Amino acid sequence: MLPDPTSSERISSRTRLLAALLQNRGRSRSELVSLLGLSRQTVTTLVAEAEQAGLVEQRVRSEEAAGPVMGRPPLRISLASDAAFGVGIEIAHDHVRSAVCNVNGEVLTLHSAPIDIGTHATRIFDLAAELAFSALAESGVPRSKVMGAGAALPAPVDARNGTVHTRDFLPAWRGTHPAAALRERLEMPVRLANDAYAGALGEWLFGAAQAVSGALYVRLSAGIGVGLILGGRPYTGSGGIAGELGHTYVSDQGTICRCGNRGCLETIAGTAAVVARLEQGRKQCVSSAELIGLAHEGHRSARRALTDAGDAVGRVLAGAVNLLNPDRVIVGGDLAAAGAIVTDAIRAGVARGAVAPAAETVEVVTGALGERAEALGAAAIQLERAPAVLAARLEAA
Ligand SMILES: [Zn+2]
């Protein structure tokens, strides 16, 4: 007879099961057996005890139940939607959003308000906390089930110590400690991430980058950033700077960028630059949402402003496509709402600058999560901890 597994072995197998389900919802038992490399008996036992503790659910998929397949349809195993929750905060150049999300990537409540990122940081932290509290209250989720909060910021974040590179990116935040400030206000664990990284994490766990080995999530907003999925995992680089595509040099003729260099991609394809080019032509103010609306209505100048931006982004992305040979480029951020107008232009820019075999195989698509990608990804920073936390709680029970 085999000896009983030790407590740490049990915690580790439970963590692996729950982590596999966080990333792969609705798996059959056989799929879990091959995914985890454990015996069928072990998987059956682990699933049964997690189900008893209310952490997983088993269901027959309605289309499989109704389908013409012979025999009994398999039970599909997922994490219980109330197993754990995360708070996701997105701090962008012109708004703050706070959302309460569950382990299956569903946004229960999302509260947002406009801000100017140049405002004093303390006011922004107060607003983020206020929105998080109202989203939590409306969701009715008990605090004991909240893993913590993640915050997506428009600046690089060093994942090793949670420090924000404010100097060139958020000058108004210099000398502040955003993680500590939010932790104090929210009274829960807080982790920070760059906004494009958070968007990539959201799309990787719950959207267009699921089960994709190599993906570039390109966030096209006031800033332009890339979140990387490499070898099937999110990647931050050694100091969190990976993906700062917006500050890639593209033109001698460009204007001076907020980072201090001249002619960065952001000064050509960031929303402010795109809107400014259209305003020059029309001699009136437009917002980025209005610009996209005009483009969808077929206005040639609005379409031109967006396709020029997409083409410039695509040409810069071509270098990354040559370097990394990704399966998919996923477009998020404000300009993603332009859909094919932007994705077609990016595809053309990539085709012009990348080697044919890489350019021909990379798919360029808009994200599946829309404008919620960053808030959901921010919550996912905490939801990723849920498998280990829940497995340890199960052992202690
Ligand atoms: Zn720059």
3-state secondary structure 268-303: HHCHHHHHHHHHHHHCCCCCHHHHHHHHHCCCHHHH
23: left (phi over 0), alpha (psi -120 to 50) or beta: alpha
- Please report which residue ranges of the chain form alpha helices under DSSP H: 7-23, 29-36, 40-52, 62-66, 121-139, 178-186, 195-206, 266-269, 271-282, 288-296, 300-324, 340-353, 356-361, 373-383, 386-396
Distance from residue 5's CA to the centre of ligand 1 (Å): 54
Is 205 domain-assigned?
no
The Cα-based distances of 44 to 14, 40, 83, 320 in angstroms read 12, 6, 19, 43
Distance from residue 65's CA to the centre of ligand 1 (Å): 55
Is 166 domain-assigned?
yes
Q: What counts of helices (H) and strands (E) characterise the chain? A: 15, 14
Asked if 332 and 380 sit in the same domain, the reply is no
Distance from residue 49's CA to the centre of ligand 1 (Å): 53
Q: Of 38, 59, 79, which residue constitutes the final position of a domain?
A: 79
CATH number at residue 194: 3.30.420.40
CA distance 382 to 259: 30
Distance from residue 311's CA to the centre of ligand 1 (Å): 18
Distance from residue 323's CA to the centre of ligand 1 (Å): 22
Contact 116, 106 (CB under 8 A): no
Distance from residue 167's CA to the centre of ligand 1 (Å): 12
Is 271 domain-assigned?
yes
Asked if 106 and 138 sit in the same domain, the reply is yes
Domains contained in the chain, number: 3
Distance from residue 269's CA to the centre of ligand 1 (Å): 11
Asked if 191 and 238 sit in the same domain, the reply is no
Pair type for strands 224-230 and 163-164? unpaired
| Angle made by CA atoms 332, 338, 343, in degrees to the nearest 5 | 65
pLDDT along the chain (397 residues), means of 10: 72 94 93 94 95 94 73 90 98 96 97 92 96 98 97 88 81 88 97 95 96 96 95 87 89 85 94 90 83 95 96 96 97 97 98 94 97 97 96 88
Distance from residue 101's CA to the centre of ligand 1 (Å): 33
What local confidence, expressed as pLDDT, does residue 254 receive? 81
DSSP for residue 4: P
What local confidence, expressed as pLDDT, does residue 1 receive? 46
Distance from residue 216's CA to the centre of ligand 1 (Å): 20
Distance from residue 52's CA to the centre of ligand 1 (Å): 53
Q: Which tokens sit at 329? A: 């480029």
Asked if 109 and 72 sit in the same domain, the reply is no
Q: Of 32, 55, 79, which residue constitutes the final position of a domain?
A: 79
> Rg for the chain (alpha carbons), in Å?
22
Distance from residue 66's CA to the centre of ligand 1 (Å): 55
CA max distance for the chain = 82
CATH number at residue 34: 1.10.10.10
Asked if 261 and 291 sit in the same domain, the reply is yes
What local confidence, expressed as pLDDT, does residue 72 receive? 80
Distance from residue 366's CA to the centre of ligand 1 (Å): 25
Contact 79, 104 (CB under 8 A): yes
Distance from residue 263's CA to the centre of ligand 1 (Å): 7
Asked if 218 and 349 sit in the same domain, the reply is yes
Asked if 217 and 331 sit in the same domain, the reply is yes
Q: Of 57, 79, 101, which residue constitutes the final position of a domain?
A: 79
Asked if 144 and 280 sit in the same domain, the reply is no
Is 20 domain-assigned?
yes
Distance from residue 87's CA to the centre of ligand 1 (Å): 31
Asked if 288 and 146 sit in the same domain, the reply is no
pTM for this predicted structure: 0.94
Range of the domain at 120: 85-199+374-396
Asked if 63 and 92 sit in the same domain, the reply is no
| Angle made by CA atoms 75, 76, 77, in degrees to the nearest 5 | 115
Is 227 domain-assigned?
yes
CA distance 138 to 216: 34
Is 204 domain-assigned?
no
Is 1 domain-assigned?
no
Asked if 160 and 296 sit in the same domain, the reply is no
Distance from residue 233's CA to the centre of ligand 1 (Å): 27
Asked if 378 and 363 sit in the same domain, the reply is no
Is 260 domain-assigned?
yes
What local confidence, expressed as pLDDT, does residue 69 receive? 60
What local confidence, expressed as pLDDT, does residue 7 receive? 82
Distance from residue 118's CA to the centre of ligand 1 (Å): 17
Distance from residue 131's CA to the centre of ligand 1 (Å): 31
Which residue has 């001076």 as its token pair? Answer: 256
What angle in degrees, to the nearest 10, is found between the helix axes of 29-36 and 40-52?
Answer: 110
